[in-house]
Amino acid sequence: MTIAWRHRARPAAALALILLVATACTSAPDGPAEPTGTASASGAPSLSVARVCAKAPAGPTKAPAGAVPVDPAVVGDLATKTKSNPPKTTFWLASGTHRLEQDRYAQVIPKDGDSYLGAPGAVLDGHKTNQYAFGGAARDVSLRYVTVQGFVAPQNEGVVNHDSADGWLIEHTTIQNNSGAGLMAGVHQQVRASCLRGNGQYGMNAYKNGAPLTGLVLEGNEIAGNNTDDWERRTPGCGCTGGVKFWAVNGADLRGNWVHDNRGTGLWADTNNNDFRIENNVVEANDGAALIYETSYNAVIRNNSFLRNNWVEGRKYADRGDTFPYPTVYVSESGGEPRIHARTNKIEIYGNTLENNWSGITLWENADRFCNSPANTSSGDCTLLVPHSERCARPAIATAPLYADCRWKTQRVDIHDNRFVLDPSVVKCTVRCDRMALLANYGTYPDWSPYHGEQVAEAITLKQDNRWHHNVYVGPWKFVAEDPSRVLDAGQWQGTPYRQDADSTFAPQAGG
């Protein structure tokens, strides 16, 4: 079985937190829906919305003591003064539109510890000529109160922190209307109270070539309307779009962000991520899934509001007759692994509200996708338990420990104390938008695979400690187990052999 979301291309990439209750917002360039994260007709708990883009806070009106003023009337002044000053210099960008030289590779190359502050209305504009705004390997650079726009980074590359340098702080900054990714990420990077909107591919691409990322923080940001270049249409199945993409990130905290109206997935952790804490976010009205956690490990996903996601992509697949339960929260070949150090040894999903999305949570495992398999779309990567792909071959892969360790396993997923609300009249659907699922495919490929047949489906469903319990369901929910053809009602889901959703409650009508 081919799952469109399964095709992947490798990506090439402390001031006050603003958490304001939203009443109206025009954050995405094409006029997104009003934020609904602060209220729920179903009576679900509400969250504040990080309403950042509509009115960004202003920076200092005068250059701070010791800061180097940068003149917008002088083309290239920011890059020139950065080059001519020592490390740990503070630069103050005066109000107005700043430009770089008219060369595609012209960019600002900071030195260690440099700091950039924008006056009210300070904009660094690439004028659809420059590819990158800030690059180089300098550590501990900070960028505050500046709008960065109009740069034309290539696909899978980023405009700010283009080279994924470590220790950067991006705060009260707007990165908008660029091609590629608005922002790349380095080790211990912090992105706070910033607006990442209307970028051509991603708001941020968290990828560092040749090394894992650690200690990433995204807090209080608005991430909206990204993938304006519609890369999934241009490169079908690329898996290369959305609000934020994470690859091989070990330790990330995503708190209090508003992720909405992105064309594609809102938040996507793809391949060997570990130790994520995703909490108190409002993720709504994204064309695809709110969250994909794929071929990764150990995460806490709690106290988020997932609202009206996946309407576009879910409906598209349903209209084609595709029976796969495309969800709003998609856990794909990911699970808890006690042997990998993290703040939890499970994937814990609790305290969340999922309301009027296209379907709910799907736990999935592709029997044919494992380390060293041609069906592994993670560009040759192996699991974190087996560092060398060539070990996952016959005859060793057929026996312990490699039989287990060569797979990314959906295991130890604990889904509890969530509220799932579905009103089909709101979603405007009649079929396949009402699924909660725990399944795999029938293993067939390659011919030397030790996972042929139903053994992976049986394991994920019955043997890998994946549990729903103590949840509240409102609306006409259905459940899928083992394979897409096995659609169950609540009684069958709770009964033998699945025994899911013990101590959960079911109300057939939304709004109750």
Nearest to 457 by CA among 469, 439, 473, 444: 439
Backbone angles phi, psi at 463, to 5 degrees: -125, -5
Amino acid identity of residue 234, one-letter, is: R
Phi-psi region of 405 (alpha: psi -120 to 50; beta: other; left: phi over 0): alpha
| CATH classification of the domain holding 390 | 2.160.20
Q: What tens digit of pLDDT does each residue of 342-393 get?
A: 999 999 999 999 999 999 999 999 999 999 999 998 877 999 999 999 999 9
Q: Say what the pLDDT of residue 510 is.
A: 57
3-state secondary structure of 384: coil
Give every CB contact of residue 81 below 8 A, 6+ residues apart in sequence: 68, 70, 91
Q: How many CB atoms lie within 10 A of CB 96?
A: 14
Q: Give yes or no for a contact between 49 and 17, defined as CB atoms under 8 angstroms apart.
A: no
pLDDT at 45 over 50: no
* Pairwise CA distance, residues 512 & 501, whole Å: 19
Please indicate, yes or no, if residue 128 is contained in any of the structural domains: yes
* Pairwise CA distance, residues 430 & 379, whole Å: 38
Please indicate, yes or no, if residue 485 is contained in any of the structural domains: no
Please indicate, yes or no, if residue 77 is contained in any of the structural domains: no
Please indicate, yes or no, if residue 303 is contained in any of the structural domains: yes
Q: Going by DSSP bridges, is the β-strand pair 305-307/282-284 parallel, antiparallel, or unpaired? A: parallel
| C-alpha radius of gyration, the chain, whole number | 23
The HSE-up count of residue 69 (CA atoms within 13 Å, CB side) is 12
Q: What is the model's pTM?
A: 0.91
- Over the range 440-461, which residues count as b (16 or more CB within 10 Å of their CB) and which as e? bbebebeeebbbbebebbebbb
pLDDT at 32 over 50: no
Q: Say what the pLDDT of residue 504 is.
A: 99
* Pairwise CA distance, residues 199 & 126, whole Å: 13
Please indicate, yes or no, if residue 117 is contained in any of the structural domains: no
Q: What tens digit of pLDDT does each residue of 126-157 get?
A: 999 999 999 999 999 999 999 999 999 999 99
- The count of domains in the chain is 1
3-state secondary structure of 323: coil
Mean of the per-residue pLDDT values of the chain? 91
Q: Say what the pLDDT of residue 377 is.
A: 85
Q: Give yes or no for a contact between 400 and 37, defined as CB atoms under 8 angstroms apart.
A: no
Q: Say what the pLDDT of residue 16 is.
A: 35
Q: What tens digit of pLDDT does each residue of 58-76 get?
A: 999 999 999 999 999 999 9
| Residue 284 vs residue 7, higher pLDDT | 284
Please indicate, yes or no, if residue 219 is contained in any of the structural domains: yes
pLDDT at 36 over 70: no
Q: What share of the chain is helix, strand, coil (3-state, %, to 5)?
A: 10, 30, 60
pLDDT at 29 over 90: no
Nearest to 300 by CA among 357, 255, 259: 255
Helix (H) / strand (E) containing 78: helix 77-84
The HSE-up count of residue 195 (CA atoms within 13 Å, CB side) is 25
Please indicate, yes or no, if residue 377 is contained in any of the structural domains: yes
Which residue segment(s) compose the domain that 192 sits in?
Answer: 4-57+123-464
Q: Say what the pLDDT of residue 297 is.
A: 99
Please indicate, yes or no, if residue 63 is contained in any of the structural domains: no
Cis bond before residue 35 (omega within 30° of 0): no
pLDDT at 293 over 70: yes
Q: How many CB atoms lie within 10 A of CB 133?
A: 31
How many helices (DSSP H) and strands (DSSP E) are in the chain? 7, 37
| Residue 435 vs residue 39, higher pLDDT | 435
pLDDT at 46 over 70: no
